[in-house]
Structure 1
């Protein structure tokens, strides 16, 4: 994953960010999780995914293309304005919910929770409850995929960001069988061209049944 694909500016300039990443493909973590689902027996129903921090829908669109039922969640109305305006959006299996992480409530029976580059934007005081909600909402053998930011990331100085050490990430993943965990650290730039030191954990994990 290159630096230019990475996430939002420290100033939360979402409109500029959405414009910068327009048309980009689904995240590698999502594609790896979907490949793992494809290796399992088919169900007699559409699988159900929640796309947290869905943004303009780069992952939501891929899930819908594969006939998943999707609940797209974001805290910014601008995200849904862009998502619902996409010409490649298949709406039949889509629901949307405007909700911030600090107030997140999810239905049960979720097969996949996808959180691409969004969980670090949860307030540190609210993160334990957010993670508890994610774990509790997944079906047995359901999956989580997405990113967590490391403690050496340059955004760790901001008090409204949540960052983790490698040990803390491994502790969060205790309820799961970790299928892919890649730690990435290097200098680079954000999607809108800001200089940044990246420290990221890419995760695909299957909840223990």
Structure 2
């Protein structure tokens, strides 16, 4: 299923076309946070169990494809129609296990009893005023003992200066993760570049957490 969005076709920070970003990251492997979460699920899963994941900000599918490859049912969501088009055009997906939506985070209604919500380098694009309610939707959607994996940007990240993007201190990240058992929390901070070569200062939190409440 696809729904349409009026989300702009340019990146909300640097003005480049999203197409430039998709081309720059094409062929890259799944994120380490996702792989870590999947390893933990593999240690728990009994034979024949069908797991269900929501991949937020799925892009052209670098994480979605890995979930499908492992036999997960996936709802892949992105605010850009061209991202979903690129995902659906891939030859390495299993369409029988995949549902897609073009939808903005602040408008999103999530399903219930999700095993895993994956959000790789995308949650910062939820408007700050909408983020608290959106995060509560994420927490509520994950079943007990399900997981969240993904990233949040820190308060010292270059993008933290933009008032249309959200960011968090370490203390705020820990507060957000209060309903979870934190299985992996890595704080990364250094100068660098974006995928398309734009200079920026990175301050990131890499997260894998298991819901306990």
TM-score computed with the length of structure 2 as normaliser: 0.92
Supply the distance in 1 between the matched residues of 2:86 and 2:109 (Cα, whole angstroms). Answer: 23
Query: Which residue of the partner structure matches residue 42 of structure 1?
Result: 46
Alignment equivalent of 1:190, drawn from 179, 191, 194: 194
Cα contact 1:9–1:192 (8 A) shared by 2: no
1:165 aligns with 2:169: yes
Cα deviations by residue, 1:120-164 (Å, 9 ceiling, x for unpaired): 010000000110000000111000000000000001111110000
Query: Which residue of the partner structure matches residue 21 of structure 2?
Result: 17
Cα deviations by residue, 1:17-61 (Å, 9 ceiling, x for unpaired): 001100110000000000000111316541000000000000000
Q: CA deviation at 1:12?
A: 5.8
Cα contact 1:8–1:191 (8 A) shared by 2: no
Cα deviations by residue, 1:162-201 (Å, 9 ceiling, x for unpaired): 0000000000000000000000000000000000000000
> 1:1-209 alignment to 2 at 5 Å?
10-11=14-15, 13-42=17-46, 44-208=48-212
Unaligned runs of 5+ in 1: 1-6
TM-score computed with the length of structure 1 as normaliser: 0.94
SS at match of 2:109: coil
SS at match of 2:66: helix
SS at match of 1:139: strand
What is the number of equivalent residue pairs in this alignment?
203
Supply the distance in 2 between the matched residues of 1:41 and 1:23 (Cα, whole angstroms). Answer: 28
Q: CA deviation at 1:104?
A: 1.2
